[in-house]
């Protein structure tokens, strides 16, 4: 399905509104078509009438003008209002529906997609490109038809007055049509390239604004200025190519529309001199040339607008058609609250088809309430394993079962309802602390929010803030310390109360005092829940029921802390190295 046909699916629910908008528009644009006829009547039938006295002419003129004033002052304004309101209502409703669908789409796209796509480019498509598509509805589905109908009505009226003059009036139409076809094919491609270049500028800008602390700390202002300049230059280059071609288009098409009235004046003047045409008819034809070629010029502008709108439609639909890496089966079942028994069986996984497996034949059976710690060198596959459990990615081979049910057979959202996650860098939204805690349960009462905060050892520091639970935390929680952010993240998991927990490097970025506090809170939260812990500091997971050592995507050791220390394998070596490092730190201090 072409992008335009796909876009029209969003327009279809409002087809009758569009129909009535066009009908009202025909009346609105039809009223000015009376003006040349009024001029013709006044000149030929009143001013030039030899059988009427001046008093009779004045009376007749007063009647004609009175009727005209009623039409133009009383009837036309409300008709114009209704047309404008209906057109904008439909356009905005279509944009609302598309953005609503896109936001739903954004939430279903895989983490792999977001790892490969700049946030700014996504925002550009959802905001800028979607806004541009509104012109397709208002201009392409309404105004273009109104202008075409206006032209046909005007030509029909002209034919009733003089066929020869009408033919002269429209003789340049074929040349105009050829020009449109020639210029606007390339203009669509240039518009798309310009939009893509603008999206790249926006994506780069969004990323660099977030990274301002890095730029400042490394004194990279001049370097970053040059990097932004390259993308800005590329956009300028694309924009100027578009401007150049657009200017050529307008130069040619406007020349054609300017020549046509001259032909009419020349031919019509000759006809009046020859006595074959009345002065009133010539004046009417000149008036209708404006009524014919003004819509035609608007069609030129509309063509440019439509090209830009269609290029944006292409980009919006391209994004909307982005495939989901994790997709529920048609008959996927809803997973109710689980016990927490998990089996990872013969699991292998790779991020891309042409890459090597990052996990290789992983087997692990976890009983309800167990705490499992994954340890090993960075890049070994620890975080990948815990990302497979909530189906952020689907396994390449093997299966993961919760309470004996393959997680690919259930609705992903119902699976995640049973899982609480605390990460190394938890995202907090730039709203109040209460709102951020309620991410665990949007329907929670104030009392439940406070109880969760107390359970997470967060209540005391929250009370000490300027506005307590109503304190705004800033973008990504910038106003809070690392330990405070982690306690907020743990509080929302307490509020969610899931049977399965995942802690992925939840304390690795904290100082020792904060780590100790968070560790106590995590152990409290993990009580009677199936818990997976990815840990960098081995001293924090010695209490785990089992410790799983992951090396190069494979399980090399499993056991308790004491069992692995006695074995004196990879875990023992890692533990000894970390203890030696800690001893050195103590000596230094």
Q: Are 64 and 42 in contact (CB under 8 A)?
A: yes
Q: What SS3 class is residue 17?
A: helix
Are 441 and 496 spatial neighbours (Cβ–Cβ below 8 Å)?
Answer: yes
Paired tokens of 187: 């203009």
Angle at 31 between CA 26 and CA 33, to 5 degrees: 100
Half-sphere exposure for 79 (CA within 13 Å, toward CB): 17
Q: What is the dihedral of CA 215, 221, 224, 226, to 10 degrees?
A: -170
Burial class (CB in 10 A: 0-12, 13-18, 19+), 17: middle
Counts of helices then strands in the chain (DSSP H, E): 23, 10
The 3-state secondary structure of 555-570 reads EEEEECHHHHHHHCCH
Under a CB-based contact definition with an 8 Å cutoff, are residues 505 and 536 in contact? yes
Name the pairing type of β-strands 371-375 and 530-534.
Answer: parallel
CB-based contact 260:254 (threshold 8 Å): no
Q: Record the pTM.
A: 0.70
Strands across the sheet containing 371-375: 419-423, 500-504, 530-534, 371-375, 546-551, 554-559
pLDDT at 584: 44
CA atoms in the 13 A half-sphere facing the CB of 212: 5
Q: Cα dist. 82→22, 33, 72, 488 in Å?
A: 11, 19, 15, 51
Cα–Cα dist 32/288, whole Å: 10
Provide the pLDDT for residue 425. Answer: 72
Count of other CB atoms within 10 angstroms of residue 414 = 16
449's enclosing H/E stretch is helix 446-455
Per-residue tokens: 558: 């499993």
Backbone dihedral angles phi then psi of residue 502, each to the nearest 5 degrees: -130, 120
Query: Residue 347's closest CA among 325, 365, 334?
Result: 365
Residue with tokens 């800033």: 474
Q: For residues 67 and 285, is the Cβ–Cβ distance under 8 A?
A: no
401 pairs with which residues across the strands? Answer: 343, 406
Of 89, 92, 76, give the one whose Cα is nearest residue 21.
89
Per-residue CA distances from 389 to 108, 202, 416, 474, 494 (Å): 17, 34, 9, 31, 19
Helix (H) or strand (E) holding 546: strand 546-551
Give the span between the Cα atoms of 348 and 356, in whole angstroms: 10
CB 269 within 8 A of CB 301: no
Q: From start to end of 333-483, where are the E strands?
A: 342-349, 359-366, 371-375, 397-402, 405-406, 419-423
Q: Give residue-wise pLDDT tens across range 537-564.
A: 787 788 888 999 998 889 998 999 998 8
Q: Identify the bridge partners of residue 333 per DSSP, sorted by sequence position.
A: 410
The confidence score (pLDDT) of residue 589 equals: 43
Point out which residues pair with 372 in neighbouring strands: 532, 546
Calculate the CA 308 to chain-centre distance: 17
Query: Please, what is the end-to-end C-alpha distance for the chain in angstroms?
Result: 68
The order of strands in the sheet holding 342-349 is: 359-366, 342-349, 397-402, 405-406
Q: Which residues of the chain have pLDDT under 70?
A: 1, 185, 210, 213, 217-218, 300, 475-478, 506-518, 580-589
Which ranges constitute the DSSP H helices of 31-143?
A: 34-40, 54-69, 76-108, 111-116, 119-124, 130-135
Provide the pLDDT for residue 585. Answer: 45
Structure tokens at 313: 């439609």
């Amino acid at each position: 399905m072409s992008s335009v046909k796909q876009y029209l699916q969003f327009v279809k629910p409002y087809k009758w509104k569009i129909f009535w908008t066009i009908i009202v528009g025909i009346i609105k644009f039809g009223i000015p078509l009376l003006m040349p006829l009024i001029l013709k009547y006044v000149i030929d039938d009143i001013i030039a009438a030899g059988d009427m006295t001046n008093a009779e002419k004045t009376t007749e003129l007063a009647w004609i003008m009175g009727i005209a004033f009623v039409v133009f002052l009383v009837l036309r304004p409300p008709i114009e209002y209704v047309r404008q309101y209906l057109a904008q209502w439909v356009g905005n409703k279509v944009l609302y529906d598309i953005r609503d669908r896109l936001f739903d789409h954004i939430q279903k796209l895989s983490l792999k997609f977001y790892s490969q796509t700049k946030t700014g480019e996504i925002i550009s498509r959802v905001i800028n490109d979607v806004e541009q598509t509104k012109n397709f509805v208002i201009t392409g589905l309404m105004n273009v038809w109104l202008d075409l109908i206006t032209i046909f009505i005007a030509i029909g009226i002209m034919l009733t007055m003089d066929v020869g003059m009408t033919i002269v009036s429209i003789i340049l139409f074929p040349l105009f049509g050829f020009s449109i076809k020639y210029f606007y094919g390339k203009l669509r491609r240039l518009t798309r390239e310009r939009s893509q270049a603008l999206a790249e500028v926006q994506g780069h800008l969004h990323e660099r604004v977030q990274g301002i602390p890095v730029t400042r700390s490394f004194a990279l202002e001049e370097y970053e200025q040059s990097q932004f300049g390259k993308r800005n230059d590329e956009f300028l280059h694309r924009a100027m190519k578009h401007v150049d071609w657009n200017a050529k288009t307008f130069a040619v098409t406007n020349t054609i529309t300017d020549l046509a009235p001259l032909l009419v004046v020349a031919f019509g003047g000759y006809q009046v001199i020859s006595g074959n045409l009345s002065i009133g008819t010539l004046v009417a034809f000149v008036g209708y040339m404006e009524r014919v070629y003004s819509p035609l010029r608007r069609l030129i502008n509309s063509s440019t607008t439509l090209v830009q709108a269609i290029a944006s439609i292409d980009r919006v639909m391209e994004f909307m058609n982005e495939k989901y890496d994790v997709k529920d089966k048609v008959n996927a079942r809803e997973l109710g609250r689980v016990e927490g028994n998990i089996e990872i069986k013969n699991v292998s996984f790779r991020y891309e088809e042409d890459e090597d497996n990052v996990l290789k034949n992983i087997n692990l059976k976890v009983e309800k309430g167990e705490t499992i710690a994954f340890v090993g060198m960075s890049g070994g596959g620890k975080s990948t394993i815990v990302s497979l459990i909530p189906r952020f990615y689907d396994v390449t081979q093997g299966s993961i079962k919760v309470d004996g049910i393959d997680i690919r057979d259930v609705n992903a959202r119902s699976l995640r309802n049973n899982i609480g996650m605390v990460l190394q860098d938890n995202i907090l939204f730039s709203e109040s602390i209460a709102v951020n805690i309620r991410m665990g349960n949007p329907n929670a009462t104030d009392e439940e929010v406070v109880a969760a905060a107390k359970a997470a050892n967060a209540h005391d520091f929250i009370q000490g803030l300027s506005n307590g639970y109503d304190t705004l935390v800033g973008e990504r929680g910038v106003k809070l310390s690392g330990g405070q952010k982690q306690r907020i993240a743990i509080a929302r998991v307490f509020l969610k109360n899931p049977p399965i927990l995942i802690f992925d490097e939840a304390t690795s970025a904290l100082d020792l005092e904060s780590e100790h506090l968070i560790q106590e809170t995590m152990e409290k939260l993990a009580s009677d829940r199936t818990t997976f812990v990815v840990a960098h500091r081995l001293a924090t997971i010695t209490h785990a029921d089992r410790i799983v050592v992951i090396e190069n995507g494979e399980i090399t050791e499993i056991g308790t802390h004491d069992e692995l220390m006695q074995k004196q394998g990879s875990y023992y070596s890692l533990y000894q190295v970390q203890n030696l490092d800690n001893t050195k730190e103590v000596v230094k201090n």
